[in-house]
Structure 1
Amino acid sequence: TLVRNVAYFFIYFSLMTTACVWMLIPGSCLLQYLSLHNSHFSNVKKLALSYGFSLIMIAWSTPYLLNFYPSAAFDETVREAHRPDPCDSFVALGGVLMPTDEHPKGILNFALECIIPTYVISYGTFAFCICKSRQTLASLNSTLSDKTHVMHRRFLLMLALQNLLPLVVLSVPMTIFFIVVVSGYGMGLMTLIMTFSYWTLPMIQGSVALKFVLLANNPPVERSGMSTTILLSSTTSGVLGSILNCAVLHVLWKRKYPTNLLAYRISITALQWLLMSSIVTALSNKAHLYHSSSGHIVVFGFIAT
């Protein structure tokens, strides 16, 4: 049916946005690098070169999404793990861990040929650009104005926070997931830890970006210090992520930054996460389910209540 096909689309799209957590990392890092080393490039060229690298990785990874497919066995896994009400409808996609004759591309292929290479490339690019940018800033101490120098350093700090915090947020649930896969036990409702962690990422990204643009002109400001609950918390995280990312853009326009600086700031990560935050908010009762059973792994369950 049309509704079911739409649900499949959103699951595939959500899988891709999960991978984009690290595939989009090179964009803002390369933009900073090009701004320091190739300042004569136009803004359009800088953006195209920076984010074109990420788009190539996304294009490479997209076909691997088809390794996940619907199955009655996956639906049963969702029922066992999440125990939805009999009147609830849902769809689920999963895949085989190891390749088979029927499914020559398994989740192992997805990990070895897609996730690990793009992960290493993204964080390798991040480390290279951060180190080179720091060296360049140190050598330009005498030629840059104090304000420009401080802004570049704050931007480097923001890049580090935005790109390393997702590792911290997802480290616990991903560790649990790998232990479960190796041991062969199902995670059950513990998989909702992954759902909640994933939905906090837009809020973290938006908070870091908003703090950066607020500090660009102003000094720091002192600030004072089960299922239904999880869904409410997750929805709130998605909404806050969207609001914070919109606030980043609003502040940029309100401050009337010069055109080149405005393009430079908008491209950081705000626009990347705005779309994902909105989609996550709209899909507030989609649950991430990592459950290993008889060589099958259900990766995403879309619960429609």
Structure 2
Amino acid sequence: MSFWPVLCIVIVGLEGIFGVCVNSLVLILLLRGKLRTKSVYRVAMVVSTIHLIGMSAMSGVTTLCHVFHDQNYSIIFFGLLPLLPQKVGDGFLIVFMFFVFAMWELTPAPCILQYLALCQPNVTDRMKLLIAYSTVDCLVIGTLQITELFFHYGHSLDVVIIEHFLSCIPQQYYTVFLAIPEYRQDFALITRQVFDLSPDEGVVAYGAKLFMTEKSDTTVIPFAVIGILPTYLIAYLIFIFCCVRIYRVLNAYDVQLKSQRTLQMQKQFFKTLLLQGLLPLIVLAVPIGIFFVGLVGGFNMDRLTLLLTFSLWTVPTVQGVVSLSFVFKMKSSSVEGTSSRMRLEQRSASELH
């Protein structure tokens, strides 16, 4: 096997293993451990952790990588996928799209929960969860339907440019990378050239053109602008709004919390959700910046695109470490609280005698 596929399999595979291990430990501690934290916060962390486990497991199994070459954006699978039927790869591609979109669509939920816990304490836990994850549901539904809405408004306004731009977008745009068979052969050929693959080495390649062609009208730019940008902006606007409100409440002198220990727990959870929301942006900032420079500059990134791949699959591990740190702190806080109560009970008993 050639050097580059082996490198991708090793690095992406290890990232997947680390992500699964770290987040599985977090999940076990959340489900079994006696943590001094609110139940709604625990639910939010369980949901996020399950998503990270799924994302890490997929990276370890599929070795999904990216290549940008000659105005073609390719998503490629090494590892086990080339040995399986094509439909299996199609399914994994759609699941991959779901996991990537969920990275930002799940971001507002923990913030909304803490905002409601601090600013609307009379709201029941069930209602808090309903409000938080209804927002996530709206983002998911918007992801699936937003192109149809854009097309409708473009038609009603009778703006020819908008109609022409939006008409190239399939309503089920999450399948934009399921290219026609002829283009799949092109993407596979590009992959073999970029990674110096021998003819007997298997690879599954998907992709989309940067611009429209006579044979295909599915392109990357409308997918990014209409498929990703609206829900991405909405999710992070909610995130920023809630974080600002939470910060003000936690630093107010008249904050109504049961104890100093509860205040510390709230602050620690706030730091955790803040890190989990911002770290993906920080980790992916450099490779995405390089990608856009290459996009605007018109040069082939080729193997340099692997920076985006390796950074993307690092995110679940990084977020898992943040969650693990929070869980350990809450666990130690719970143990300290139990020990303090036991000492007080023993002291009271000795005074009675």
TM-score category, normalised to shorter length: 0.5 to 0.7
Please name the residue that 1:124 is paired with. 237
Would you say 1:76 and 2:177 are equivalent positions? no
CA contact (8 A) 1:64 1:110 kept: yes
CA–CA distance in 2 between the matches of 1:200 and 1:165? 10
2:249 to 108, 127, 136: 136
Unaligned runs of 5+ in 1: 220-250, 256-305
CA contact (8 A) 1:155 1:212 kept: yes
Please name the residue that 2:211 is paired with. 98
* Alignment root-mean-square deviation, CA: 2.5
Please name the residue that 1:67 is paired with. 176
1:30 to 72, 90, 112: 112
CA contact (8 A) 1:82 1:189 kept: yes
Structure 2 CA distance for partners of 1:85 and 1:41, relative to 1, 3 Å: farther
Cα deviation for residue 56 of structure 1 reads 2.2
Cα deviation for residue 86 of structure 1 reads 2.3
CA contact (8 A) 1:141 1:149 kept: no
Deviates more, 1:151-160 or 1:46-55: 46-55
2:285 to 123, 146, 171: 171
Any idea what the Cα deviations from partners look like across 1:209-252, whole Å, max 9, x if unmatched?
11112112536xxxxxxxxxxxxxxxxxxxxxxxxxxxxxxx9x
Any idea what the Cα deviations from partners look like across 1:16-40, whole Å, max 9, x if unmatched?
2122222211111111112222333
Larger Rg: 2
CA–CA distance in 2 between the matches of 1:142 and 1:54? 28
Any idea what the Cα deviations from partners look like across 1:181-205, whole Å, max 9, x if unmatched?
1122222222221221111111111
- Give the structure, 1 or 2, with the largest relative contact order (CA under 8 Å, sep 6 or more): 2
CA contact (8 A) 2:90 2:178 kept: no
CA–CA distance in 2 between the matches of 1:206 and 1:91? 29
Moved over 6 A (4+): none
Please name the residue that 1:183 is paired with. 297
CA–CA distance in 1 between the matches of 2:256 and 2:120? 16
Count residues in correspondence.
222
Cα deviation for residue 92 of structure 1 reads 1.5
Please name the residue that 1:51 is paired with. 133
2:300 partner SS: coil
Structure 2 CA distance for partners of 1:92 and 1:127, relative to 1, 3 Å: same
2:97 to 15, 18, 23: 15
Please name the residue that 2:166 is paired with. none
1:127 partner SS: helix
Structure 2 CA distance for partners of 1:85 and 1:42, relative to 1, 3 Å: farther
Question: TM-score, length-normalised on structure 2?
Answer: 0.58
Structure 2 CA distance for partners of 1:142 and 1:44, relative to 1, 3 Å: closer
CA–CA distance in 2 between the matches of 1:165 and 1:52? 24
Would you say 1:206 and 2:331 are equivalent positions? no
Would you say 1:159 and 2:273 are equivalent positions? yes
Question: TM-score, length-normalised on structure 1?
Answer: 0.66
Cα deviation for residue 153 of structure 1 reads 0.9
